[in-house]
Amino acid sequence: MLVIKDLYAKVEGKDILKGINLTVNAGEVHAIMGPNGSGKSTLANVLAGNTNFEVTHGSITFNGKDIFEMSPDVRAKEGLFLSFQYPVEIPGVSMVNFLKTAVNEHRKYRNEKELSAGDFLKLMREKKAMVQIDSQLTNRSVNEGFSGGEKKKNEIFQMAMLEPTLAILDETDSGLDIDALRIVSNGVNLLKNKNNATILVTHYQRLLDYIVPDFVHVLYEGRIVKSAGKELAFELEEKGYDWIKKELGE
């Protein structure tokens, strides 16, 4: 589904990613862990097509198509979803209007009929129950006045509405209390199936108690330095990232 080859990227002139290789297949959950500044969020943003991040080398294919040929909205409609680390507020734009536009843009892209207002609201009710998001939130403007936890929940709600084939969760667990973490994780697990894949970007092993990854990758100084099964996460939690540095001989 996703194939990243020898990816290099810069932010504000500074090299951040220095040769990433990663393959994600349908039905898999990948966790990308690593210390601050290792390039985790950069990777997420490059995949989504944020123009503040400049790709200098390498290739990414998504569903067999060159991702660099696609604008961010086309990538989204191809099924790539990014749950933002810091979701922005859009004052005056209601969640309903925002999501209705988003859902129908996806449908149009797939040559499907746009949803009627009634069908849309029905879908929204269904997905709201799935991620246990309060109706009060979805009646407000996009993320406006939401707490940190509410914003993250709202990201997962949008993911449920859009049903992506590849979901990238950028530190979705940060800022969540245990209850919210459980709800968010539960939502992600419910959405998981054999046709879609998930990339979890996180600092902590905690999230992986709830969403069990098939693969764990350690990102350090712009490269994936270690890949293994879920047990790697426990080892990291126990030994800290210094252990990786030592292993690398630093």
Partner 1 sequence: MEDQNKLIHEVTQRDYRFGFVSDIETDTIVKGLNEEVIRIISAKKDEPEFMLEFRLKAYRRWLTMKMPEWAQLKVPVIDYQEIIFYAAPTQQAKYESLNEVDPELLRTFEKLGIPLEEQKMLSGVAVDAVIDSVSVKTTFKETLAERGIIFCSFSEAVKHHPDLIQKYLGMAVPYNDNYFAALNSAVFSDGSFVYIPKGTRCPMELSTYFRINAKNTGQFERTLVIADDDSYVSYLEGCTAPMRDENQLHAAVVEIIALDRAEVKYSTVQNWYPGDKNGLGGIFNFVTKRGICKGVASKIFWNQVETGSAITWKYPSCVLMGDNSVAEFNSVALTNNYQQADTGTKMIHIGKNTKSTIVSKGISAGHSSNSYRGLVRVAPKAENARNYSQCDSLLLGDTCGAHTFPYIEVGNSSSIIEHEATTSKIGEDQIFYCNQRGISTEDAIGMIVNGYAREVINKLPMEFAVEAQKLLQISLEGSVG
Residues at the interface with partner 1 (CB under 8 A): 48-52, 71-73, 76-77, 81-82, 84, 87-88, 90-93, 97-99, 101-102, 105-106, 109, 141, 158, 162
| Minimum distance of partner 1 from residue 114's CB (angstroms) | 13
- Shortest separation between residue 91's beta carbon and partner 1, angstroms: 6
Element (H, E) at 214: none
If the CB atoms of residues 53 and 220 are measured against partner 1, the closer one turns out to be: 53
The structure tokens listed for 9 are 């990227």
Q: Give the Cα separation of 117 and 100 in Å (integer).
A: 8
Tokens representing 161? 């509405």
**At closest approach, how far in Å is the CB of 66 from partner 1?**
18
Are residues 157 and 138 in contact, defined by beta-carbon separation less than 8 angstroms? yes
Q: List all residues 6 or more positions away from 133 whose beta carbon is below 8 Å from its beta carbon.
A: 153, 154, 157
Pick 158 or 196: Cβ nearer partner 1? 158
User: Which residue, 92 or 118, has its beta carbon nearer to partner 1?
Assistant: 92
Q: Least CB distance from residue 154 to partner 1, whole Å?
A: 11
Q: Token pair 């990243």 is at which residue?
A: 4
Nearer to partner 1 (CB atom), residue 131 or residue 162: 162
| Residues present in the chain in total | 250
- The two structure tokens encoding residue 144: 């406006």
- Which is closer to partner 1, CB of 99 or CB of 180? 99
Asked if 204 and 178 count as a contact pair (C-beta separation under 8 A), the reply is no
Distance between CA atoms of 83 and 119, rounded to whole angstroms? 25
Q: Which is nearer to partner 1, 102 or 225 (CB)?
A: 102
CB of 169 to partner 1, least distance (A): 13
Q: How far is the CB of 77 from partner 1 (least distance, A)?
A: 5
Q: Are 66 and 3 in contact (CB under 8 A)?
A: no
Residue 174 C-beta: closest distance to partner 1, Å? 18
Report the residue number, 154 or 185, with the smaller CB distance to partner 1: 154
Which amino acid appears at position 198 of this protein? Answer: T
Q: How far apart (Å, rounded) are the C-alpha atoms in residues 16 and 37?
A: 8
DSSP 15: E
Cα three-residue angle 47-53-56, rounded to 5 degrees: 90
